[in-house]
Structure 1
């Protein structure tokens, strides 16, 4: 066939046929978790799945600029219903399967149906775990704030303490992700309308709306066993599919330096002696920076305005020395650079007109200069 005829034939096909989303539901949960979700260094066991396998699959769309081009999809209906173009405002599949007790509680006690629940136990290698995902739904936009919200959750349980938390929350809040909490008017910076007018992903995805890529994250104890439950279900009835897509190989464990706050210790009048309270504060500070040392710390001494300028300058230097000596005795000597500064009476934080104010000015501030990343 002539080249111009081939080009002409291709141009007759709609664009979505050339860049179509694919969903493969033939994979087992073991393969999906080990080969498509977890980064290789994580140890995992006890992988399980509850629900119809038509709701679990491998999502891929390498040729589209979607927020996630490949990953695992969990759906309240057929996972293949995610495939666009968006030609329906109400694509649904009702399997008449059980819901999930935890998801029912998150939905406000409503009945849930057709739960797809993927779980596994893992052992983090560092103090933080995270993975990336997006949520999409046919409930957008008609049922926003109408009380019909498909529900999903990422429930992380520390198997040592038995404490659990939901990681699927709106960034910067504790609100669970669903259509009422991310939409065109509420947290719109995380929302993508999927229609022809917006010219977004209607040629690729069936869902009427979706979130931008979000990240689920938690602080963990390295080496301790944790159980993660990735679950989604219909609420009230089986109408209108929703899906959550987990980005390929994004489930990871990494080190996050702890956020160490500056410490301020206070002194009696005309004294450079550390009180028991001051020692306890410095001891807690030292325990944090020993495990994650900063580049340096700055120790700044101050006094109230009583006495001569020369006396107060000398007293602030003595207070700085007391703090430096105590920190050195706690194991910081040689591990962290120390910058000393004595301000005397010249930088009060409150007025020196009364004893309450003067007591707050008799202080030493210990500040991190530049924490290592």
Structure 2
């Protein structure tokens, strides 16, 4: 019945595919490596990831931003049993995952755990050197097209977060809160642990393709400082390769931050009067280029730009996402040279960060900014000017939490994250 059902629905979903995509606020980007994302999101004062590997079908891993949706998590890394760029459709669209024959490989550990064959596995593994004693956790949401029809059957798409000291047998820490069994379609649904289940299609969900989702859940373990742990995060289809599933892992996992600054990075190659631009920025959802001669572009990759006269032009790239922005300004010389110029970002650091009584920007005093300090919801608390000369900005009276310090002058704009203790 399952295979017959998906064939009927699949034909209809193709008709809606393009039209529906514009209605969702979920942003997916598959251009970053697993190593880059794990380091960017989870390397911090609590722990340092290393030896990062990913295995899976093409496009089964990526970056997601969901801050303007009802998904319940701002941004992070997503693993799926199909193409992740097909997740950004309303729940009325059918997500079949991969239907290749033969299907992509499963994962032996997940097959043992499920008691059935698995297919289309996406597996992220890394070692984690912990710096502090205490509890660490992943924050995640599991979603599946198997919901609700195939709950409590052997079509029980599965995932796991295995963690253990290197050289020991790891344990799955993705457990149903308050219970000693793992999160899966059969353990969280409309009939079991329903407090953690969202009937997303029943709500007319518009942000992500799945019929059912879990709420944002923790996968926790007690860590010991100086210990090297091995982490394996895996997801797979069970019993057949149809009806896809995914797990969304938030950037706040492992002491990470809720806010993601999109670093503006670029490279320019010059041939006489023509410059070719390569955008290597990360985690942005919009881009604005100013080529320094009055011409602009809002394309992520603007390709080439031809100048009318030789000279040195200041090119500016501004990146934005839901919370933050970054600006890169760099010179490009055209008309006399052929070569490649790597753009060097202006370095702005907040010291100390985390902060208690004050924060400052060290430097030589050559930069003066208008600033605004706001909380994560965008509510402003302070405005003024500050220079990169160690001048202290006092933080008295602010509650503990994350804040955004926006800095701007005539040539430069950036938003920095600040944690106040």
C-alpha displacement at 1:22, in angstroms? 1.3
Assess, with a 3 A threshold, how the Cα gap between structure 1 residues 206 and 38 changes in structure 2: closer, same or farther: farther
Assess, with a 3 A threshold, how the Cα gap between structure 1 residues 63 and 174 changes in structure 2: closer, same or farther: same
Task: Report the count of equivalent residues.
Answer: 235
Q: Which residue of 2 aligns with 1:208?
A: 211
Q: Which residue of 2 aligns with 1:22?
A: 27
Name the SS for the 1:23 alignment partner. strand
**CA contact 2:98–2:120 (8 Å) conserved in 1:** no
Q: Which residue of 1 aligns with 2:154?
A: 147
Q: Which residue of 2 aligns with 1:31?
A: 36
C-alpha displacement at 1:185, in angstroms? 1.4
Describe how 1:239-254 pairs up with structure 2 within 5 A.
239-252=242-255
Assess, with a 3 A threshold, how the Cα gap between structure 1 residues 29 and 40 changes in structure 2: closer, same or farther: farther
Structure 1 ranges of 4+ moved more than 6 A: none
C-alpha displacement at 1:128, in angstroms? 2.0
Assess, with a 3 A threshold, how the Cα gap between structure 1 residues 120 and 142 changes in structure 2: closer, same or farther: same
Residues in 2 aligned to 1:67 and 1:106: alpha-carbon distance in whole angstroms = 28
**CA contact 2:140–2:217 (8 Å) conserved in 1:** yes
Q: Which residue of 1 aligns with 2:66?
A: 61
C-alpha displacement at 1:18, in angstroms? 5.8
Alignment pair present for 1:163 and 2:169: yes
Residues in 2 aligned to 1:97 and 1:59: alpha-carbon distance in whole angstroms = 23
Alignment pair present for 1:78 and 2:86: no
Q: Which residue of 1 aligns with 2:129?
A: 123
C-alpha displacement at 1:40, in angstroms? 5.1
Larger Rg computed on CA atoms: 1
Structure 2, unmatched stretches of 5+, are 1-18, 257-421
**CA contact 2:61–2:77 (8 Å) conserved in 1:** yes
Assess, with a 3 A threshold, how the Cα gap between structure 1 residues 157 and 91 changes in structure 2: closer, same or farther: same
How does the TM-score come out when normalised to structure 2? Answer: 0.53
C-alpha displacement at 1:91, in angstroms? 2.7
Name the SS for the 2:253 alignment partner. coil
Greater shift in the superposed pair: 233-242 or 121-130: 121-130
Deviation readout 1:215-253 (Å, 9 max, x if unpaired): 010112211110000100111211000000000132239
Out of 226, 230, 233, the position equivalent to 2:233 is 230
Residues in 2 aligned to 1:222 and 1:216: alpha-carbon distance in whole angstroms = 19
Describe how 1:171-190 pairs up with structure 2 within 5 A.
171-190=177-196
**CA contact 1:81–1:91 (8 Å) conserved in 2:** no
Larger strand proportion, structure 1 or 2?
A: 2
Deviation readout 1:239-285 (Å, 9 max, x if unpaired): 000000000132239xxxxxxxxxxxxxxxxxxxxxxxxxxxxxxxx
What RMSD, in angstroms, separates the aligned Cα atoms of the two structures? 2.0
Q: Which has the higher contact order (CA 8 A, sep 6+)?
A: 1
Name the SS for the 2:110 alignment partner. helix
Residues in 1 aligned to 2:156 and 2:86: alpha-carbon distance in whole angstroms = 18
**CA contact 2:46–2:130 (8 Å) conserved in 1:** no
Residues in 2 aligned to 1:193 and 1:48: alpha-carbon distance in whole angstroms = 33
Deviation readout 1:16-59 (Å, 9 max, x if unpaired): 73652111111101111011344454222100111124100001
Assess, with a 3 A threshold, how the Cα gap between structure 1 residues 19 and 90 changes in structure 2: closer, same or farther: closer
Name the SS for the 1:145 alignment partner. coil
Residues in 1 aligned to 2:78 and 2:105: alpha-carbon distance in whole angstroms = 19
Deviation readout 1:49-76 (Å, 9 max, x if unpaired): 1112410000112322321121110001
Q: Which residue of 2 aligns with 1:318?
A: none
Assess, with a 3 A threshold, how the Cα gap between structure 1 residues 55 and 15 changes in structure 2: closer, same or farther: closer
**CA contact 2:21–2:88 (8 Å) conserved in 1:** no
Assess, with a 3 A threshold, how the Cα gap between structure 1 residues 243 and 30 changes in structure 2: closer, same or farther: same
